[in-house]
Structure formats: structure tokens, C-alpha cells
Chains A and B, each alone.
Chain A
């Protein structure tokens, strides 16, 4: 096992040297991650197969994988896994895009116009403590089971992170740059677009990643209650049918897709401004 190998190469000075040639520090850390995942899966397998817990309480990884694969071909709760996923992703990206498109300009405006900041700030200070799920009753009331409800929930989860991080980023803009551009006759619009926005960009991207995570979480929560399709809905139906492998398959899908979304955003983040970001 890789765990043994790592501990040996560390404890035996004689073997250290040859091992180092291929075991770069980075590879070592990757192996550590792989080992911990393997270990966790192993514990899960052992627990499930030992028979200590009933199958219903803890389905084995194998059952979960089977349920997952099966659901790709055979519909559960009215749709296949990928159909549920597409429904969830559609709602997520609508609400998330809305949060970014409205949140980033709003954060910039708060960073630029002090009166606007002071008019808006009290609402944010309050609203950010209200969990997105608290909006579910009103989302259901206003939109019924339509597409608007889940979008509102995602939006309420993602919006504040976009606004606050953009605003904080805008505040880091170098006042000397703003002054220099003013002396060249830059208008407020030019200053916001050419100085404030690029200054805030690293913070905006960090905010967008947080917003995506919060939005994705909120959506699944919302689907538990208001939706008639989607991965969250799949989980609820699995619970109703006491199909715990389906429930866990849904959970695994949520985790994996969340990871993919974040990796995608990280890629975008790395690409933006790689020409001028020093040391990026």
C-alpha cells in the first residue's frame, strides 16, 4: 500500500535517496490524498460488509455505484440520473448567472459611490444571515413549482458572495492609479471599467467561486422541497422509497458536479489576466 511505502521512505535514511528521485514532494502529497481516499473507501466497505449496520442504514459503495449506473439507463422518480442532473444544472446556472450579472456591477457601484454603499449596506448586513432555504416558502408561494422558485433560491445563496467580494476587491484599488487616470481626463465610467474592475478581479473571481458553491448547495436544498425533478428531488424520492443507495448516488453526484464546477471556475480564474498578473 502506498501508505506503508511513504512511511518507510521517511523512516529509513538508507532508502531515502533512491526513493527521492521519482517521489517529488508534489507526487508525495498526491499520493497522500489518494491514500486517504482509499482508506476512507476501505473503512466504508468494511463497515457495510461487516454486517454491523443494516444495509438500509449504510449501503455499501458497491450498491451505490450500482444504483448510480442503473439510474443512468432506468428512470427513477420519473427521470434518469442525467435528466435530473440537467434539470438541476439549468436552474443552477440561471440563478448563478443572474447573481454574477447583477452582483458584480452592484459591488463595483458600492465601491465607487459612497452614498450608494451606505444606502445598500444595511440590507446586506441583515439579508446575508437569512439562509437561502428560508426563502423556500415564499419561493413556493410566488412561483409555485415553476422554474422561478429554485432560481430565486440559488440567486439568494450566490448573490451576497458576488457583491461583497466585488466590493472588497474594489476597495483594494490603488488610489494613485485612480488619481493618475483622473489627471488624464478619465470619466467615472472609464475609471470603473479600466481601474476598479481589473483591480477587483482576483477578489471577484474568489467571490464567484464561493457563490457557485453556495448556489449549488442552496439549489439541492430547494429541490428537496419545491421541485418535481432534479438531483435534490431524486434524493427525496429515494428517501420516500427507502432506496438508500439512490439517495447516496444522488449525494455523490452533487459532490462530484460541485467539484467540476469549481475546477472550471478555477481554470477561468487562471486564464484571466495571466499576462499581467505578476507571479500568477
Chain B
């Protein structure tokens, strides 16, 4: 049981000269094992939503539950992957991946085979003793994903995890994520600016509108993905499918009317971003 439920959640921030409402009452249920992507213009509150589920922030009104339990703070049952990787610069790749296990009180000898397995899974062999600054962006994010997956969290919260990567690496990481989540079903909340990424990865895509943040529409992709076997195809193959293009275009229209800034509208021309 690891479904995420937002029940009439609002979030207001105190600002100079009054309060700023980041979310108007939002309700969203992500069932156990579902992959939900959230797209929306900057400032629409999608990151706020993710932080509430992570326990890094608390709702002003309403409640957030994960697996039926109210969220009161961060915990290793809900792994978070950040856009800026957030690796510890003074720890090696191996130490970064094993950090959560160390927090659990697991000894180094006990953790080592597990860390080795994730080094292999994330194709990081030979880099175990490197420091993060010696790695490329894509490799750093693979370390960040490895350190989350090693804790076997029931819930995966990803905040624009591939946003800082180049187009090529980004596609590889998307395929990687499909592979990983197919192997071990997890509840995923995935925030992105990229409509393509959302369509390719998610069972459902939530479109949000901004100021204050609210859910505009939810589009179901799961049925199509299964009938057309997207998971077994490459990203570029899927992106050429008529069904994919139709969903993508529909999402773009929704985003446009939700008030997407111009910088994001230009992203439509590049496949990966």
C-alpha cells in the first residue's frame, strides 16, 4: 500500500505585504503502483505538490497521505530525486549511493554488495571511487537515482530529474527509468516541463494551471501504452506514433491555455525537451 492522496490541499506562503496562495484546494489520488506525471507552467505549484508528498513542506489546509498514513515529515519510504542531483560533493559515488543505508544503521560490509549491485544496474561500474564533480551530469543523476532505489522506497518523487541533462542523455535516462520501474513497480510522482517526457513515461498526465495552482485536466495514457507496447520500444519510435503525437498535441493545447510562458512553448520543436 503506497498510494498518494492529496485531499483538498492548499498552501499559502507568507510574503511581504500579505499571503501568496500557491495552491488552491487540490485533490489528487495516485493509486498504488501508478506513474503520474505533472506538467504545468512555472509557478503552477507542481513542485509544491511534490514537496508536500515528500514531507519537506506542510499544507496550509487539507491533508496528504501516503499509503493511508498522514505525511508528517520526510522519510526513506518516499525517495526524492532532485533536478540539481543534490549529491554530497565530499563523498564518493559509492558513499553517496550507500548514504541512506548508513542512515539506517547498516554497516559498510553489509552495504557493499548492495551498493555494487546498484553501481552495475545504473552502469556506473568503475566510477565507485570517483567524486561527483568528476562525473558528467547524466552520471551524477544516475548516482542520485541509485541512492534512492537502493532504499527500495514505495514511492518515488521526481522533481524535473532530467531537466538539467542534455537531450541525448535525457532520452537514455527516460528509457532507463522505464526499465527500472517496469522491473519493480513503484508509485511515481514525476514533475516535468516536457510534454513529450510526460507522455512517454506516465500512466496519467496531470496538467496544472498557475496562480494559484490548480489541476486543469488529467489525461490517461496507460491504456494506450499497454495496447501499443510503448515500454518495449525506443523513445524515438514511440514519439513517431500517431497516438503519441495526438496526446502530446492535446497536452500542448491545454498548457497553452493554462498560460505557459513563451520559453516553454519553444520547447515543442525539440523532441526531448
A interface residue numbers (CB < 8 A to B): 174, 176-177, 179-187, 190, 194-195, 198, 273, 275-276, 278
> Do A180 and B102 form a contact, CB below 8 Å, given A198-B90, A276-B131, A278-B133?
no
Chain B residues numbered 31-77 whose CB sits less than 8 Å from any CB in chain A:
54-56, 73-76
Contact at B86–A180, with CB atoms within 8 Å? yes
Q: How far is the CB of A225 from chain B (nearest CB, A)?
A: 44
The chain B residue sitting closest to A191, CB to CB, is: B103
Quick one: which of A182, A184, A194, A276 contacts B133, CB cutoff 8 A? A276
> Do A276 and B86 form a contact, CB below 8 Å, given A183-B76, A184-B103?
no
Contact at A184–B147, with CB atoms within 8 Å? yes
For A176, the chain B residues whose CB sits under 8 A away are 82, 84, 86
For B151, the chain A residues whose CB sits under 8 A away are 184-185
Interface check B107, CB cutoff 8 A: no
The answer for the CA separation of A130 and B132 in the assembled complex, in Å, is: 45
Contact at B80–A183, with CB atoms within 8 Å? yes
The chain A residue sitting closest to B101, CB to CB, is: A184
Q: How far is the CB of A8 from chain B (nearest CB, A)?
A: 45
Q: How far is the CB of A156 from chain B (nearest CB, A)?
A: 32
Quick one: which of B56, B76, B102, B131 contacts A179, CB cutoff 8 A? B56
The answer for the CA separation of A194 and B86 in the assembled complex, in Å, is: 13
Q: How far is the CB of A184 from chain B (nearest CB, A)?
A: 4
Quick one: which of B54, B56, B84, B104 contacts A185, CB cutoff 8 A? B104
Quick one: which of A179, A185, A273, A276 contacts B100, CB cutoff 8 A? A185
For B132, the chain A residues whose CB sits under 8 A away are 276
Contact at B86–A179, with CB atoms within 8 Å? yes
- 1/0 per residue, CB under 8 A from A, across B124-149: the answer is 00000001110000000000000110
The answer for the CA separation of A195 and B147 in the assembled complex, in Å, is: 16
The answer for the CA separation of A28 and B150 in the assembled complex, in Å, is: 55
For B82, the chain A residues whose CB sits under 8 A away are 176, 180
Interface check B225, CB cutoff 8 A: no
Interface check B88, CB cutoff 8 A: yes
The answer for the CA separation of A194 and B89 in the assembled complex, in Å, is: 10
Interface check B188, CB cutoff 8 A: no
Contact at A194–B91, with CB atoms within 8 Å? yes
Extra 12 A-B pairs, beta carbons < 8 Å, given A180-B82, A185-B103, A276-B89: A176-B86, A177-B88, A183-B78, A184-B151, A185-B74, A185-B75, A186-B99, A194-B91, A273-B90, A275-B131, A276-B90, A276-B131
Contact at B89–A179, with CB atoms within 8 Å? no
The answer for the CA separation of A275 and B132 in the assembled complex, in Å, is: 10
The answer for the CA separation of A195 and B90 in the assembled complex, in Å, is: 9
Label chain A's interface by main secondary structure.
helix
Contact at B86–A184, with CB atoms within 8 Å? no
For B80, the chain A residues whose CB sits under 8 A away are 179-180, 183
The answer for the CA separation of A180 and B73 in the assembled complex, in Å, is: 13
The answer for the CA separation of A181 and B151 in the assembled complex, in Å, is: 13
Interface check B79, CB cutoff 8 A: yes
The answer for the CA separation of A221 and B77 in the assembled complex, in Å, is: 58
Quick one: which of A177, A182, A198, A276 contacts B56, CB cutoff 8 A? A182
> Do A183 and B54 form a contact, CB below 8 Å, given A176-B84, A177-B86?
yes
The chain A residue sitting closest to B129, CB to CB, is: A275
The chain B residue sitting closest to A275, CB to CB, is: B131
The answer for the CA separation of A278 and B140 in the assembled complex, in Å, is: 15
Contact at B90–A184, with CB atoms within 8 Å? no
Q: How far is the CB of B102 from chain A (nearest CB, A)?
A: 7
Chosen A-B contacts, 21 in total, with CB atoms closer than 8 Å, are A176-B86, A177-B86, A177-B88, A179-B80, A181-B88, A181-B103, A182-B56, A182-B73, A184-B76, A184-B99, A184-B100, A185-B74, A185-B76, A186-B103, A190-B102, A194-B88, A194-B91, A198-B89, A275-B131, A276-B89, A276-B131
> Do A190 and B103 form a contact, CB below 8 Å, given A176-B84, A278-B133?
yes
The chain A residue sitting closest to B57, CB to CB, is: A179
Q: How far is the CB of B103 from chain A (nearest CB, A)?
A: 5
Contact at A184–B88, with CB atoms within 8 Å? no
| Interchain residue pairs A-B with the least CB separation, the first 6 | A180-B86, A184-B100, A185-B76, A198-B90, A183-B80, A182-B74
Q: Which of B54, B78, B89 neighbours the largest number of chain A CB atoms within 10 Å of its CB?
A: B89
For A185, the chain B residues whose CB sits under 8 A away are 74-76, 100, 103-104, 151
The answer for the CA separation of A275 and B133 in the assembled complex, in Å, is: 10
The chain A residue sitting closest to B77, CB to CB, is: A185
The answer for the CA separation of A27 and B148 in the assembled complex, in Å, is: 51
The answer for the CA separation of A187 and B105 in the assembled complex, in Å, is: 11
For B89, the chain A residues whose CB sits under 8 A away are 198, 276, 278
> Do A183 and B90 form a contact, CB below 8 Å, given A276-B133, A278-B133?
no
Contact at B103–A183, with CB atoms within 8 Å? no
The answer for the CA separation of A179 and B89 in the assembled complex, in Å, is: 15
The chain A residue sitting closest to B80, CB to CB, is: A183
The answer for the CA separation of A113 and B255 in the assembled complex, in Å, is: 43
Q: How far is the CB of A180 from chain B (nearest CB, A)?
A: 4
Q: How far is the CB of A170 from chain B (nearest CB, A)?
A: 15
